[in-house]
Each structure stands twice: as structure tokens, then as C-alpha cells.
Amino acid sequence: MKKYIVGTNHTGYLESRNFYSLPFENFKFKKFYDWCKIIDHLNFRLKNQNHLFCHNFHNDILIPCKPDLYHFFHTVSATKRPWIVTHSGHLPRYIANSAYKTNIEKGFKVLAGINCKKIISICNNSKNYLMFSLEQFPQYKEA
């Protein structure tokens, strides 16, 4: 039986606890770097803080190795590959700034896209908060 490669961009506690370290027989998890992670890392090294947008965004343009599927925690992706996101709070996660509503709408547009295969809420509160947030953008609620 084929062993599927599932990519992720973080391998911290939340990812490990919820999907990365679970003993799936047909799935192998692997950390992949992308341009957003590189920008976020450089921003953290220079300014000692995460990049407001890139910390929870993924884009694998020009990245040669690509998995069969991506699974993220609190991250939305602009990849052309299928992906899943698990969340425990607000999704998409962007820190409020002058373009907050525009960025949130872009995030919901990506979540409503055909490549996002599943949104997994850790609890009912997370799901309810996501549904409440979608009230501002009813055009994405059905998707």
C-alpha cells in the first residue's frame, strides 16, 4: 500500500499533539519550508517578532519537493496542492492592522477554495467562533 507524504510547515507542540506524531500507517509527516516561513524567520531574527501575515500563511511557489497533502495548524495556504487545516481559535489568523478586514476576507477566500479539503475545529467554541466570523463574509459561508 502506498505511503502518502503529508507536509506541514510547523512541527511544534500543537502539530505534534494533534496530528504530526500520531501513528498513522499509510501517512508519513514531513516538515516543508516555504517562502512565508523564510520571511517570518528573517523578521523574527531582525525584529524579534513574528511577521504579522507570514506567520500563519503558506505558499509553496518555486519549492521543488511537494507532498501529496498538506496539514496545517492555524495556517491557510495558497498552494495548488490539497490541504487541511486544524484550528483552536480564530481562522484565518492575522493580527489587526489597517488592512485587517481585507486580509481576513482574503483568508476566507483561500479557505473557501477548492484546494482546502477540510477545516477541523478542535472544539465547539472554535467552530462557533469561525461561524461567527463568517457572518461578516456570507459569500464564503456555504463553501
Range of lowest pLDDT (51-55, 90-94, 96-100, 101-105): 96-100
- Return the pLDDT at 124: 92
List the helix and strand counts (H, then E) for the chain.
Answer: 4, 7
114-131 tens-digit pLDDT: 999 999 999 899 889 888
Q: Please count the structural domains in the chain.
A: 1
Where is mean pLDDT largest: 30-34, 61-65, 110-114? 110-114
The reported pTM is 0.81
Cell of 130: 469561525
Residue 76 in this model has a pLDDT that exceeds 80: yes
pLDDT score of 94 more than 70: no
Domain of residue 78 covers 4-140
68 and 4 in contact (C-beta within 8 Å)? yes
Candidate from 54-68, 79-93, 98-112 with smallest mean pLDDT: 98-112
Cα separation of 25 and 101, whole Å?
Answer: 41
Q: Residue 98: its pLDDT value, please?
A: 47
Say how many CA atoms lie within 13 Å of 64 toward its Cβ.
Answer: 0
Rg (CA), the chain: 15
Q: What's the maximum distance between 2 C-alpha atoms anywhere in the chain?
A: 50
Least confident of 9-13, 76-80, 126-130: 9-13
Q: What is the pLDDT of residue 52?
A: 75
